Structure 1
């Protein structure tokens, strides 16, 4: 079985979500089911069915997080010392050579990728193009909207 890489920060974020689901959400849902059950006939009790559905989703997410975390290989990015080369966990400042726009991404595991937070999966096309490059290098990759050209401004490990 292969172990999926995840940053220490990503692992802590998933563990916090798991703890919240188990200690806050699960008891709240159980109380909502008990309250809805007290209202009588369960066949036509919308509150009961909604609470049971929420319970199902929550238990599914708990199981998913437990499985993900049990197979994840946690990598402490602060302990890496690859110099100015881009490897897993790197935070990279890039300049779009076509528009001059600056953007910052961190290369993380597939489990924790979130483009809104500028966390890109190590398996993404841009991350694959970045791996092994150094500050000052230019590269291109094929994005969904065409070929993009970037220059690596800075590489750091936080």
Structure 2
């Protein structure tokens, strides 16, 4: 079984979502099914069918989250010794040599990634190009937008 790297925050968010699904959503859906069932004929009962569909989505998501948490390799980046090397969980400040734009990325697991918040997946082209590199390294990364060169300015383990 392959382990999935995940930050502590990412694991906490998944656990919170799982709690919400099991303790809030699931009982609401069960109640909605019971209420719709009380209306009579189930063959033409749209409320019943909608509630059953919702139940399927909810149960599927519960199983998905439980599977991810079971396979998670939770990494506490704050306990790592800062060597200046880019690793999973580190926060990296780079200078785009084409645009002279300074950008800060945090390398996280797939479920935590949000490019708008500069949280990039460990499996993204940028993260794969940065991992293993050190401060002052120049990295050429093949992105969907073309070849981009970055200078690594700062690496933090926060």
Query: TM-score normalized by structure 1?
Result: 0.93
Q: Distance in 1 between matches of 2:12 and 2:117?
A: 16
Cα shift at 1:112: 2.8
- Deviation, 1:146, is 0.8
Taking the aligned partners of 1:90 and 1:18, their CA distance within structure 2 comes to: 26
How many correspondences in the alignment? Answer: 158
Answer yes or no: is 1:94 the counterpart of 2:94: yes
Coordinate RMSD, CA, aligned = 1.4
What is the rounded CA distance, in whole Å, between the counterparts of 1:54 and 1:102 in structure 2?
44
Distance in 2 between residues matched to 1:103 and 1:47, nearest whole Å: 49
Deviations 1:129-152 (A, max 9, x none): 101212222211111121111122
- 1:81-102 CA distances to partner (integer Å, 9 max, x unpaired)? 1321111110112222111223
Distance 2:117 2:33 in 1: 35
Residue 118 of structure 1 corresponds to 118
Number of the residue aligned with 1:140: 140
Structure 1: stretches of 5+ with no match in the other structure: none
Q: Give the unaligned 5+ runs of structure 2.
A: none
Separation in structure 1 between the aligned mates of residue 10 and residue 43 of structure 2, nearest angstrom:
42
The list of structure 1 runs, each at least 4 consecutive aligned residues, that deviate by more than 4 angstroms after superposition, is none
Q: Is the CA contact 2:82–2:157 (under 8 Å) kept in the aligned structure 1?
A: no
| In 1, Cα distance between equivalents of 2:93 and 2:117 | 14
Pairing of 1:68-87 with structure 2 (within 5 A): 68-87=68-87
